[in-house]
Structure 1
Amino acid sequence: MAHELETLANGQTAFASARLSAWHQLGQVTDDCMTAEEVMSTAWLGGWEVRKIPLQGMEINDKGVTKVDCPDKGMTVRTNPATGGTEYLGIVGDDYTTVQNEQVAEVLNLLVDASGAHFETAGSMRGGRSVFVTMKLPEGMKVAGVDLHDLYLAATTSHDDTASLRMDATPVRIVCANTQRMAYQRSQGSYVFRHTSNITAKISEARQALQLVWEHFDAFEREAEKMINETLTMGEFEKVIAQLWPLADDASDTARNNAKQRTLRYLTRDADTQKTIKGTRWAGYQAITEYLDHYAKAATVEVRARRAVTGTGADLKARAFDLLAV
């Protein structure tokens, strides 16, 4: 399914959003901010009892059935929140330690009294194999007094050993809902807990990660302030575009003036979303981010939304930031 959110046997979607309608129009939207307990219940994430059980193989041939143990691997399973049945999640290594969804929320909950944040969204994807929980921080960021950003913390994990428990700091630009991603070599805006035997102890120390978050936002704001105070000509912007999306030497005139380039020129030069920052290197970066979030070709808007913050989309944003930073 395009949005990848889990649909349960009772027809409910394993997703919750506080006060704002979800971009995919699925799940439960609440009127008020949610506590950790409420977000687990509303998003159908509570009581999964994720656990690891022994893994066996079964060989069937003309001699009969032979069970074969797999001592260096295990199987993760959960209790389905709607049916109560036991469900397969994934194959994991012998040193893999399970993390409950409640612990994912608790990683963020440990930061609430320090930051005043509140839970914003939560959900399950890929049939319960991936889980996310986000919190919105109480105060945003205004770059040079004109460009407003909301600030979020996001905790994500997998129950099939495809991803660690991870916390990310993410600024979201108000005027066009662009998700900003700084290059990690500039500022470490994430904190990772591997699924190993000492993960519970590390989770209890999650407050230490908060300092990294504030440092990330501070560094992001400092870099943005520099960019918003530096002019960017259209010629300079087109050179950046050429480095992000290089054309072959024998590319046709049509290819050199395709819809992507026309859209990017419009976004940095004429779009209302850049009105207060027009003509700056920061506007050039925002134009590229807006293009990736809202205009880049994608099979569905959901695919575009995921790509904007992961994979190629996130990599291009980080590269653009490096090229335009002064």
Structure 2
Amino acid sequence: MAHEIEQFSDGTAAFVGARESAWHRLGTVTADALTAEDAMRLAALDGWNVRLVGLHATELTAEGTTLLDVPNHRASVRTHPKTGSPETLGVVGPDYTPVQNEEHAEFLNFLADESGAHFETAGSLREGRQVFLTMKLPQTMTIGASDNVDLYIAAFNSHDGSSAFRIVVTPVRVVCANTLRAGLRNAKSSYTVRHTSGARGRIAQARQALGLTFKYAEEFEKAAQRMLDAEMTTPMLRTVVDKLWPVADADSSRKKSNQQSRWYTIRNLFEQADTQAGIRGTAWAGYNAITEYANHIAPARGASPDLKSAARAERVISGTADDVMERAFHLIAV
């Protein structure tokens, strides 16, 4: 499935969301905010016991079978949350140290105790190779008179060695649910911890570093307010869109046709969409038209409408459109 949420043979899925259902329509939706224990249990993330197991290779010769050790590499293995059987998640190097899902949640639970945040979502991607948890912070930024932006902290972890333990600060516009993880010059929006023997200690350090979260929120609010105060015309927005998706004279007719289709869609969002009500004609509206297109409207692969919707939902989870949104932010922010 394009959304990559882990699904089990009993019809359940490794996803939980608080109060609002997800686009992929899988997993459990709760009526109340989640605790760490709720998130672990309802998203089937507890009891994995991720561990490292030595690797062996089998060589077949005329004399028979020889079992060979594979030095400097180990298999990352979990206990499957439904069957209880061991399952290989990936091959990792000699310095890799697992970070258990419970440790992942414990770290975020510390933030709940300190800031009043609560868990919003949790889940497993790519058959257990990656997991994520998100928390909603109590602070809400206000852009202009009525455009509210909530602030979330999302923590991602991989069990196959493909990425580090990563904490990301993500402001989300309530009206259109766009992820706006823009790279601000003087703010820290993420913290990364490598999977090594000292990982647990550095997670503790990250707790202090996340004090910068609120500076990030302040910087984002100031930049967004500047965009709200700045006028943007349709030709000005076209200049930004052409820089984000450049097309040369020598490019194919198909690429030029895609460019025109993309521009018509973004222009319609900017000039007519309900999501721009109250901010129309501003640089903030232009930025949101681009992010809404990049996350939710840009063409997606899939044989059916449901698969296309799932692929678009995955963009937000994986941050596929972040590069476009960050470049748009720096082109538009004044």
TM-score range relative to shorter protein:
over 0.9
Aligned counterpart, 1:89:
89
Q: Report the 3-state secondary structure (helix = DSSP H, G, I; strand = E; otherwise coil) of the residue aligned with 1:77.
A: strand
* Post-superposition offset of 1:255: 2.9
* Post-superposition offset of 1:62: 1.7
* Post-superposition offset of 1:308: 4.4
Q: Report the 3-state secondary structure (helix = DSSP H, G, I; strand = E; otherwise coil) of the residue aligned with 1:111.
A: helix
Counterpart Cα distance in 2 of 1:43 and 1:256? 39
Aligned counterpart, 2:257:
255
Q: Report the 3-state secondary structure (helix = DSSP H, G, I; strand = E; otherwise coil) of the residue aligned with 2:138.
A: coil
Q: Deviations over 1:182-205 (max 9, x none)?
A: 125553201111100101112233
Q: Deviations over 1:168-218 (max 9, x none)?
A: 111111111111121255532011111001011122333213212222211
Q: Deviations over 1:82-118 (max 9, x none)?
A: 1111111110000000110011111211111221111
Of stretches 253-262 and 154-163 in structure 1, the one that deviates more from structure 2 is: 253-262
Question: Does 2:314 correspond to 1:314?
Answer: no
Report how many aligned residue pairs link the two structures: 326
Output the amino acid matched with 2:262.
K
Output the amino acid matched with 1:110.
F
Aligned counterpart, 2:305:
none
Question: Does 2:291 correspond to 1:289?
Answer: yes
Output the amino acid matched with 1:11.
G
Q: Report the 3-state secondary structure (helix = DSSP H, G, I; strand = E; otherwise coil) of the residue aligned with 1:139.
A: strand
Of stretches 242-251 and 127-136 in structure 1, the one that deviates more from structure 2 is: 242-251
The answer (yes or no) to whether the contact 2:4–2:314 under 8 Å persists in 1 is no
The answer (yes or no) to whether the contact 2:16–2:123 under 8 Å persists in 1 is yes
Q: Report the 3-state secondary structure (helix = DSSP H, G, I; strand = E; otherwise coil) of the residue aligned with 1:205.
A: helix
Q: Deviations over 1:103-151 (max 9, x none)?
A: 1111211111221111111011111111001111123211123211121
Unaligned runs of 5+ in 2: 302-307
Output the amino acid matched with 1:278.
R
Q: Report the 3-state secondary structure (helix = DSSP H, G, I; strand = E; otherwise coil) of the residue aligned with 2:57.
A: strand
Output the amino acid matched with 1:143.
I
* Post-superposition offset of 1:312: 4.9
Output the amino acid matched with 1:307.
R
* Post-superposition offset of 1:310: 4.2
Counterpart Cα distance in 2 of 1:187 and 1:255? 38
Alignment of 1:1-326 (within 5 A): 1-183=1-183, 185=185, 187-249=187-249, 255=257, 258-299=260-301, 300-308=308-316, 310=318, 312-326=320-334
* Post-superposition offset of 1:309: 5.8
- Cα distance change on mapping 1:123 and 1:184 into 2, 3 Å: same
Q: Report the 3-state secondary structure (helix = DSSP H, G, I; strand = E; otherwise coil) of the residue aligned with 1:110.
A: helix
* Post-superposition offset of 1:66: 1.2
Counterpart Cα distance in 1 of 2:319 and 2:189? 16
Counterpart Cα distance in 1 of 2:151 and 2:157? 20
* Post-superposition offset of 1:284: 0.7
Counterpart Cα distance in 2 of 1:309 and 1:119? 16
Counterpart Cα distance in 2 of 1:311 and 1:210? 20
Q: Report the 3-state secondary structure (helix = DSSP H, G, I; strand = E; otherwise coil) of the residue aligned with 1:140.
A: strand
Counterpart Cα distance in 2 of 1:125 and 1:309? 10
The answer (yes or no) to whether the contact 1:9–1:83 under 8 Å persists in 2 is no
Counterpart Cα distance in 2 of 1:234 and 1:90? 49
Output the amino acid matched with 2:322.
A
Q: Deviations over 1:34-68 (max 9, x none)?
A: 11111101111000000011111111122211111
Q: Deviations over 1:229-251 (max 9, x none)?
A: 11112221111111011122256
TM-score, normalised by the number of residues in structure 1 = 0.95
Of stretches 139-148 and 254-263 in structure 1, the one that deviates more from structure 2 is: 254-263
The answer (yes or no) to whether the contact 1:153–1:169 under 8 Å persists in 2 is yes
Counterpart Cα distance in 1 of 2:189 and 2:219? 10
- Cα distance change on mapping 1:310 and 1:19 into 2, 3 Å: closer
Counterpart Cα distance in 2 of 1:308 and 1:106? 24
TM-score, normalised by the number of residues in structure 2 = 0.93
Of stretches 70-79 and 142-151 in structure 1, the one that deviates more from structure 2 is: 142-151
Q: Report the 3-state secondary structure (helix = DSSP H, G, I; strand = E; otherwise coil) of the residue aligned with 1:69.
A: strand
